Amino acid sequence: MNLDEPKTRKELRSFIGIVNYYRDMWIRRSHVLAPLAKLTSKDVKWHWGPQQAAAFAMTKKIIAKDAMLAYPDFSKTFVIHTDASHYQLGGVISQDGKPLAFYSRKLNDAQTRYTTTERELLSIVETLKAYRNILLGYKIVVHTDHKNLVYKTFNTERVMRWRLIIEEFGPELRYIKGEHNIVADVLSRMRLKEEEFSVDAFAFDDEDFPETFPLSYKQIAYEQKRYAPLQAKLTEEGTKHKTEKIKHSSCHYDVFVNGENKIVLPPKVQKVAVEWYHTFLCHPGETRMELTLRQHYDWRGLRTSVKRTCKACKFCKERKKRVSKLGKLPAKTAEATPWHTLCIEPTSKRHCGTCTPDGA
């Protein structure tokens, strides 16, 4: 999604067309697109300012994240829409109407002089080659708005060579009208940035999300020196605990570690470390939390700290499914004992006289 900012009202309408094509997928779509939608009106003077630029960047970020997090289902058919203009190629891979990947690149000078058939066929070839790792060996349906491609004609050696590449994937080519090939048509025409799309597009929107570990070696070493029980362990006879000199940037810190070279955290910073790992790992269970923490840290009662944090997490309480532990119904006490199940004698067919009033 390295699309450049639109310079004209027509380019902006094309971009909004992509978003509206997947309108059922992205929340707050109208709210995010509001500054851009205003510029599509002829009654509004064209002015691209910081507000419009922020809305455009946010919209691309939403699209990129959704495509990045979408996982292909290899039991279903991959649907590909491709298109080509005089200067650019475009394609989109989807399943169940949801995009899995987008493809777009500019043509070089020689490729701009290709015939329409060659450019349209090249868009299919490039899309298949770009996502070979998820497409090869599975059922593929390719939609193109160039009807000549659905027939097995080999006009030139170049087309024949590309046909052989396509046959390796074994797709089914289908014709689609240009007016229905919206997304690929826009990707083949909108201008692209010179630089690649930044990885910042996949960054978290929440500014409060702890992306970096909140504790530094300097802070850990300082708290360890203040905690007397840790310092006392260094003087114990036969102890495996020691002080390890750790270099970070241009500084060295004396950090207290155990016999397995794991940093021993004092009580004052234990809660900070556990809560950060719990949030950064997307709220895992107690076992995974403990195993992750023990890779680098250790302290007495680590398992207890992890349990306490997981049980107190409000996010986990609201969203995680819990198996309800319903108790079993108590055994029912019979109010009367049937005489024919206890008192009848198999041989004489008589009753004991306790379960009947007359003893008969």
pLDDT tens sequence across 208-223: 444 567 788 888 888 8
Calculate ∠ Cα 4-9-15, nearest 5°.
50
Residue 103 has a CB neighbour count (10 Å cut-off) of 21
Strands of 263-264's sheet in order across? 242-248, 251-257, 263-264, 297-298
The DSSP line for 126-144 is HHHHHTHHHHTTS-EEEEE
Exposure class string for 205-240: b at 16+ Cβ within 10 A, else e? eeeeeeeeeebebeebbebbeebeebeeeeeeeeee
- State the fold for domain 217-319: Endonuclease III; domain 1 (1.10.340)
- CA dihedral sign, ordered 145, 148, 152, 156: negative
Please tell me the distance from the alpha carbon of residue 232 to that of residue 182, in angstroms, as a whole number.
71
Tens of pLDDT, residues 179-216: 788 788 877 877 776 544 444 444 444 444 445 677 88
Q: What is the mean pLDDT of residues 54-82?
A: 82
What are the residues whose beta carbons fall under 8 Å from the beta carbon of 19, sequence distance 6 or more?
26, 29, 33, 59, 63
Nearest to 184 by CA among 107, 104, 115, 128: 104
Q: Where are the domains of the chain?
A: 9-200, 217-319
- pLDDT of residue 360 exceeding 80: no
For helices 286-293 and 302-312, what crossing angle results, to 10°?
140
Q: For residue 227, give the 3-state DSSP assignment.
A: coil
Which has the higher per-residue pLDDT, 280 or 337? Answer: 280
Please tell me the distance from the alpha carbon of residue 38 to that of residue 40, in angstroms, as a whole number.
6
Q: What is the pLDDT of residue 199?
A: 43
Which has the higher per-residue pLDDT, 159 or 338? Answer: 159
Nearest to 19 by CA among 99, 88, 93: 99
Which has the higher per-residue pLDDT, 239 or 191? Answer: 239
- Considering the chain, what percentage of its residues have pLDDT values greater than 90? 9
- pLDDT of residue 138 exceeding 60: yes
Tokens linked to 135: 């497409």
Please tell me the distance from the alpha carbon of residue 354 to that of residue 360, in angstroms, as a whole number.
10
CB 262 within 8 A of CB 294: yes
**Torsion on CA atoms 56, 59, 63, 68, rounded to nearest 10:** 90
Q: How confident is the model at residue 156 (pLDDT cuts 50, 70, 90)?
A: confident
Q: How confident is the model at residue 306 (pLDDT cuts 50, 70, 90)?
A: very high
Considering only the top CATH level, what class is 9-200?
Answer: alpha beta
Q: What is the pLDDT of residue 160?
A: 85
Q: What is the pLDDT of residue 197?
A: 43
Q: Which of 35-39, 297-301, 349-353 has the highest mean pLDDT?
A: 297-301
Tens of pLDDT, residues 98-108: 888 888 888 88
